[in-house]
A and B are shown apart, each in its own frame.
Chain A
């Protein structure tokens, strides 16, 4: 069964540093997403990406965040200057485009736990 792969599984960074979270979506999927889950809270949408551009973003996704798909396979989330409150689990997800395709068509990665110290 195809998987969405995220690396690293856990990253510790110092406040103010830049961090890049990496994701390899399922190869024939067209839509890509980042979600965030602060410990003990619900999963929140950050951004969606389609056709090499952001299609939708939440209020959380401010100028400190950026996404790109640099080489047609990886999908990255960059946080320019990390804050303590950026500590969270970050999930990547990919989606074929119709929920009738594949295994429900929408697949989450196993997450990257980001700790900002």
Chain B
């Protein structure tokens, strides 16, 4: 079974600074996808970034980037130039290449301080 672990329940960062959220996962599969979802107070699930396991290059989306370490089964999210609107719960998620359901971590609550 796939498991996703987020060891930081809460984090805070000063506006305009950089913060890194950690995620590790466990799987026996070789091909899979990893995601970061943002959940603001409205509780909608918003995709931030995704990474295909077969790609060595780390994904980037504007201020968001990942550090994907396949051997270590680590998938951290870096947010640069943090903005107040980044305040939210962030969930790391895994999806197998052979299945189509998400396995989510327990989330990290990020607060951006003005």
Contact = CB atoms under 8 A, between A and B. Distances in A.
Interface in A100-115: 103-104, 106, 108, 110-111, 113
Nearest to A97: B100
B101 to A, nearest CB: 5
B45 A43 contact: yes
B101 A56 contact: yes
Interface centre among B43, B106, B107 (most CB of A within 10 A): B43
Contact of B101 (A33, A103, A104): A33
A21 B105 CA distance: 25
Interface residues of A, number: 22
B75 interface: no
Interface in B29-47: 33, 42-45, 47
Contacts of B47: 103-104, 106
A51 interface: no
A65 interface: no
B107 to A, nearest CB: 6
A44 interface: yes
B99 A56 contact: yes
Interface in B65-114: 91, 95, 99-107
B2 to A, nearest CB: 11
Given A31-B100, A35-B102, A99-B33, A111 B107 contact: no
Contacts of B100: 31, 48, 95, 106
5 smallest CB-CB distances across A and B, nearest first, come from: A108-B45, A43-B104, A45-B101, A110-B44, A42-B106
7 contacts: A42-B106, A91-B45, A99-B52, A99-B95, A103-B47, A104-B50, A108-B45
